């Protein structure tokens, strides 16, 4: 089934590309009236092109997006072929890299709010839900809930009001739904040998409805932080109208100013391995509370981060 899917996708692209190139050359030299005479030749060359290049396309496509079809993973020098053991190996590795080494929180400073305006519990309006649903990518894969984005997008107008009531109820309950805490984790090859679990990174597929709720929450939190100017000016990551260019311009400006003032400059670059996976939740919640996110919303975020689970998926194609 996998081979037939790849064959249909690649063959369609190669056929269209080959036909378009040949027809353009023929029509350019002899006129459009002669195109039909060369149709058998076009088909014959297209089939030959597929026979020559399709195996390499499948190999490249599989190595980049289909790590689940690799048959061996080395464990103490011995290959592993059983899919259940592979899942356990991936699970052990992904769990180990996400553990925070810190367990002493007594060194946290006393809590001091950075603003007098607190964000306690946002209110979700139906029009906001409709906008988020309407912008969903229908081609994204389903999560643990098996709810496709295409259905949510098609029914966005009808679902906006009931979903807004549901989301506001979640805010008031201060508890994140347990069924939304399960993610489907897919191993995606980064680089190196395909037989080493250390060369993979986890990609979590969250439930579709959970992602809708997260997008709405992000909109309210981000607007709150921007409105009260609580974000560090030098931080350009994950911000609207910011990019790496902002950081480069700021750095260059500091270097030029130091040079004009006959001062020396020192730059320290830090590359923390698995930095995102090792974010400490206690410290993160402390920072969130510092910027004025407190009360029901803070309790909800704490519930969101706790008692999460995942299921390992290495048997299905990694097609995004």
pLDDT by residue, tens only, the chain of 320 residues: 444 544 455 455 545 555 555 444 444 444 444 444 444 443 443 444 434 444 443 333 333 333 444 445 666 667 777 777 888 888 888 888 766 655 556 678 888 888 888 999 899 999 999 999 999 999 888 888 888 899 999 999 999 999 999 999 999 999 999 999 988 888 888 888 777 888 888 888 899 999 999 999 999 999 999 999 998 887 887 888 888 888 888 889 999 999 999 999 998 888 877 777 778 888 899 999 999 999 999 999 999 999 888 887 655 434 33
Q: Which of 126, 139, 149, 261 is nearest to 209 (CA)?
A: 149
Predicted local confidence at residue 56, as pLDDT: 42
Predicted local confidence at residue 7, as pLDDT: 47
- Token output for 167: 């989301």
Burial class (CB in 10 A: 0-12, 13-18, 19+), 184: buried
Contacts (Cβ under 8 Å, ≥6 apart) of 188: 65, 67, 200, 201, 202, 203, 318
- The C-alpha angle with vertex 287 and arms to 283 and 288, in degrees rounded to 5, equals 115
- Token output for 52: 């020559």
Tell me 180's DSSP state. Answer: G
């Amino acid at each position: 089934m996998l081979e037939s899917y790849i064959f249909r996708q690649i063959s369609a692209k190669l056929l269209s590309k080959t036909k378009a190139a040949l027809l353009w050359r023929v029509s350019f030299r002899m006129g459009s009236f002669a195109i039909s005479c060369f149709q058998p030749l076009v088909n014959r060359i297209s089939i030959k092109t597929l026979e020559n290049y399709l195996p390499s396309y499948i190999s490249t496509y599989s190595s980049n997006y289909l790590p689940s079809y690799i048959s061996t993973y080395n464990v103490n020098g011995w290959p592993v072929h059983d899919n259940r053991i592979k899942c356990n190996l991936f699970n052990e590795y992904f769990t180990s890299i996400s553990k925070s080494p810190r367990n002493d929180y007594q060194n946290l400073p006393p809590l001091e709010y950075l603003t007098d305006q607190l964000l306690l519990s946002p209110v979700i309006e139906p029009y906001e839900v409709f906008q988020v649903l309407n912008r969903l990518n229908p081609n994204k894969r389903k999560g643990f809930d098996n709810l496709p984005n295409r259905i949510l997008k098609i029914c966005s107008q009808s679902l906006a009001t009931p979903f807004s009531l549901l989301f506001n109820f979640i805010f008031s309950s201060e508890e994140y739904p347990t069924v939304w805490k399960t993610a489907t984790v897919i191993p995606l090859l980064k680089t190196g040998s395909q037989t080493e679990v250390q060369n993979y990174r986890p990609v979590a597929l969250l439930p579709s409805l959970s992602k809708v709720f997260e997008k709405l929450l992000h909109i309210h939190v981000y607007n709150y932080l921007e409105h009260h100017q609580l974000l560090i000016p030098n931080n350009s990551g994950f911000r609207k109208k910011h990019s790496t260019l902002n950081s480069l311009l700021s750095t260059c400006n500091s270097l030029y100013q130091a040079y004009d003032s006959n001062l020396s400059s020192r730059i320290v670059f830090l590359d923390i391995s698995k930095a995102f996976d090792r974010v400490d939740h206690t410290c993160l919640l402390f920072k969130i509370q510092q910027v004025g996110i407190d009360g029901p919303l803070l309790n909800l975020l704490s519930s969101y981060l706790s008692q999460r689970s995942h299921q390992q998926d290495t048997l299905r194609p990694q097609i995004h």
